[in-house]
Amino acid sequence: MIFLFLTSGLFLGWTLGANDAANVFGSAVGSRMVSFTRAAVIASIFVILGAVLQGAGASETLGRLGSVNAMGGAFTVALAAALTVYFMTRAGLPVSTTQAIVGAIIGWNFFTNNAVDTRALTQIVTTWITGPVLGALFAYALYHLVKITRRRIRTHLLKYESMLRFGLLIAGAFGAYSLGANNIANVMGVFVPSIPLVTTDFGIFTLTGPQQLFFLGAIAIAAGVLTYSRKVMETVGANLLELSSETAFVVVLSQALVLFIFSSSALSGLLVKAGLPPIPLVPVSSTQVVVGSVLGIGLYKGVRNINIKVLGSIASGWITTPVAAGVLAFLLLFFVKNLFGIDVGHSFNPPASTGEGISTATIIRYSIPALLAITAAYLIYLVLSEKKKTERLNKEYYK
Amino acid sequence: MISDTAACCSFLNIFALTNTATQMSLFKRTTRELTVRIDEFFDTIEIGILIFKEGIKAYVNDDGDAFRNHLAKIDDLEGKADRLQRAIENDMIVHSILPQQRSEMVKLLWQLDEIIDTAKKSLNEFYVELPHIPASLAHDFISLAEVSGNAAEELMPAARAFFREPHLVREKLIRVYFFERETDKSAFQMKKKVFHEMNDLSLAEKAHIRYITHHIENISDSAQAAADLLASMAIRQML
């Protein structure tokens, strides 16, 4: 039953992997600087690492906004967000998973008569604006740095390109790690309060309850990356974001930095220690940070005509996406509760564990290593087939 | 929960294990090989131009052995340039090097190869058609080949600079354009001299000289076309 409820979250994870991996590796793959296989393998590994190791911060903030205390509710909230993303994407409207899930949680709050934590909401909405702005600032500074370095080192173009290619891989890995760390909250955050999993020792590593959920969500993201992101990467990389290798590197790095900042509890703790206000750990839209970064580079290059339409579409997405997801979540919750008689949550503290967690923990205990082994085997297969292809190409030419 | 710092370290370590060794060595090796090939390609064209100039001198000075020697050399060099051009293009495609500039790079290589092709064709035409060069035109012919060759020669530092210091390409190309204009002027003066002043030559001989002159001019024209391409590529690099 638990896996049935998780399907909506896993589906959301799959769509996130299919779409948002393009923000990390799209320009590199679209411009053929990095092969899809290499990008997909790196993205998958680092998304999982980021989600499991650093996914808790942003998830806690979402939990403060609305602690969905029933599995049926969590399922419906994630489904509402996934459907909003799906339909808005099909309609060609700007959409973000982050904003959809926030809207859906607010919809759940309204449905269950829970008060919306305005402080958490303000924090989240503020980061929607500061994310792209920070992306633009980072991109501006990094691009300046890259240009200065290029002039100073006077290296051969091919060597410089190979350095950039390597840099793209590192930045991409960092981007994927940050994407996993920051956006896993969108995928699995709503399930954390309602699925009480116990800390499990897998022999070589130990995972807390939320980490086990994040791992499952990250596997879904990785599946999205491996199965469906190729087309998105190639079209997005080659059309919408036609960037040079230098700009692609800067965009990916600045996006990774922004996502990392908004998901790093250690960095936030350091600021608090220094007497500064903490960084809100909030899931931000990677697409919008990428747009901000591209604008930052545009400003550096002295582009005068900034496309107001692009900025307008981002701003409209801040309103339309949460509203659409909230309304849809409210309607779906109504049907799920009244038509199927499924518990979708209450307006009080979460009920005590019914013991279901123990049996779930057993399932998870065995399914996580199995999933890990399957993913590893698939990644090895991809790498080997790519190597074989290159060898065949070389043989054909030099024959 | 594992702290962010530890998480970050472990992520860097794993990345180092999986990628650093293989990726960097692969990139370095391919890049080094390709850099060497490109330099070798430029060297071949540069030597080809020098051989062309010497070949014309030998023909005009009636030194048959030296001329045939130069002809054989330029033939070899042209073949080598073709092989290098194909190998560079192949490496760029197979290893996806400079993917965004690849079409321009291929075009530039083709344009540079065109210079040595034209030089070889010109010397071959001298060899096959044995044009009669009057003594009064000997100096004009040698200086025409010299300036036309200079235009192509001056292109090579600019092409090399494109890979290291693209901001210097533009100033280096000024000399290419200068020698191209000088070639046009010299060719024009020579043709005018042949048709207006050298009445002792038959119309067929005049037409033949005009034809040969035109071929020598083609070298600087090819250099100019490559220079135009190089200039736009350099501007794009600096953006």
Are the C-beta atoms of A8 and A217 separated by less than 8 Å? no
pLDDT for B218: 92
Question: Do strands A206-207 and A200-201 pair parallel, antiparallel, or not at all (unpaired)?
Answer: antiparallel
Those residues of chain B that have pLDDT short of 50 are: 1-25
Please tell me the total count of domains within chain B.
Answer: 1
Q: What does the CA dihedral A174, A177, A182, A184 come to, rounded to 10 degrees?
A: 160
Residue B66 in contact with residue B126, Cβ under 8 Å? no
* CATH code for the domain in which residue B111 is found: 1.20.58.220
**CA atoms within 13 A of residue A108's CA, in its CB half-sphere:** 33
Rounded CA-CA distance A243/B100 in Å is 9
The answer to whether A227 and A16 have CB atoms below 8 angstroms apart is no
Mutual orientation of helices A118-153 and A56-65 as an angle, nearest 10°? 150
Query: B74: closest CA among B91, B93, B58?
Result: B58
- Going by C-beta distance under 8 Å and a sequence separation of 6 or more, which residues neighbour residue A389? none
For residues A79 and A10, what is the distance between their CA atoms, to the nearest angstrom?
Answer: 10
Q: Is the residue at A103 inside a domain?
A: yes
Q: Which of A88, A137, A114 is nearest to A319 (CA)?
A: A88
- Residues of B within 8 A of A218 (CB-CB) are none
Flag whether B17 is in a domain. Answer: no
What are the two backbone dihedrals, phi and then psi, of residue A2, each rounded to the nearest 5 degrees?
-60, -40
Q: How many domains does chain A have?
A: 1
Rounded distance between C-alpha atoms, residue B209 and residue B194, angstroms: 8
Note whether residue B8 is domain-resident.
no
Chain B: closest CA distance from residue A249 (Å): 14
pLDDT value for B25: 47
Model pLDDT for residues B7-28, shown as the tens digit of each residue: 444 434 444 434 444 444 455 6
pLDDT along chain A (399 residues), means of 10: 80 85 79 83 92 85 79 88 83 78 89 83 84 92 90 83 87 91 86 78 79 89 86 61 78 90 84 82 84 85 67 75 89 85 66 45 60 69 73 66
In this predicted structure, what is the pLDDT of residue A361? 55
Residues of B with CB under 8 A from a CB of A: 1-7, 10-11, 14-15, 18-19, 23-24, 27-28, 30-31, 34-35, 38, 90, 94, 96-100, 162-167, 237, 239
CB A326 within 8 A of CB A84: no
| Most distant CA atoms of chain A, gap in Å | 73
Q: How far apart are CA A251 and CA A294, in angstroms?
A: 6
- A53 shares contact with chain B (CB less than 8 Å): yes
Q: Is the dihedral of CA A68, A16, A102, A76 positive or negative?
A: negative
- CA distance linking residue A183 with residue A188, whole number of Å: 9
> Are the CB atoms for B227 and B155 separated by under 8 Å?
yes
Cα A115–A120–A123 angle (5° rounding)? Answer: 145
Share of chain B above pLDDT 90, in %: 60
Mark yes or no for CB contact B11/A170 under 8 Å. Answer: no
Report DSSP letters for A15-47, one per residue.
HHHHHHHHHHHHHHHHTTSS-HHHHHHHHHHHH
Q: Give the number of C-alpha atoms closer than 13 A to the C-alpha of residue A61, restricted to the C-beta side.
A: 31
* B135-164 and A157-188 helices, crossing angle to 10°: 30
Please state, for a pLDDT cut of 70, what percent of chain A lies above it: 84
Answer for the pair A251, A271: CB distance below 8 angstroms, yes or no: no
Asked if residue A388 belongs to a domain, the reply is: yes
Q: CA-CA distance, B101 to B12, in Å (whole number)?
A: 31
Size of interface A-B (CB pairs under 8 A): 90
Which chain B residue lies closest to A237 (C-alpha atoms)? B100
Spatial CB neighbours of A375, under 8 Å, sequence gap ≥ 6 = A44, A48, A219, A222
Domain that holds residue B191: 36-238
Query: Inter-chain contact B4–A390, Cβ cutoff 8 Å?
Result: no
| Residue B19, domain member (yes or no) | no
Q: Which two tokens stand for residue B92?
A: 């760029």
**Predicted pLDDT of residue A312:** 74
Domain-located, residue A399: no
**Domain assignment present for B21:** no
> Shortest CB distance from B27 goes to which of A45, A165, A390?
A165
CB contact under 8 A, B14 and A45: yes
The amino acid at B55:
G
CA diameter of chain B: 100
Q: Are B128 and B122 in contact (CB under 8 A)?
A: no
Determine the Cα–Cα distance for residues A230 and A21; give it in Å rounded to an integer: 9
DSSP state, A353? P
The answer as to whether B202 is a domain residue is yes
Against a cut of 0.90, is the pTM above it? no
Chain B contact present for A159, CB below 8 A: yes
In a domain? residue B26: no
- Domain residue limits at A69: 2-394
pLDDT at A186: 85
Quick check: A221 and A14 in contact, CB under 8 A? yes
Nearest CA-CA distance, residue A131 and chain B, Å: 20
Report whether A251 contacts A140 (CB < 8 A): no
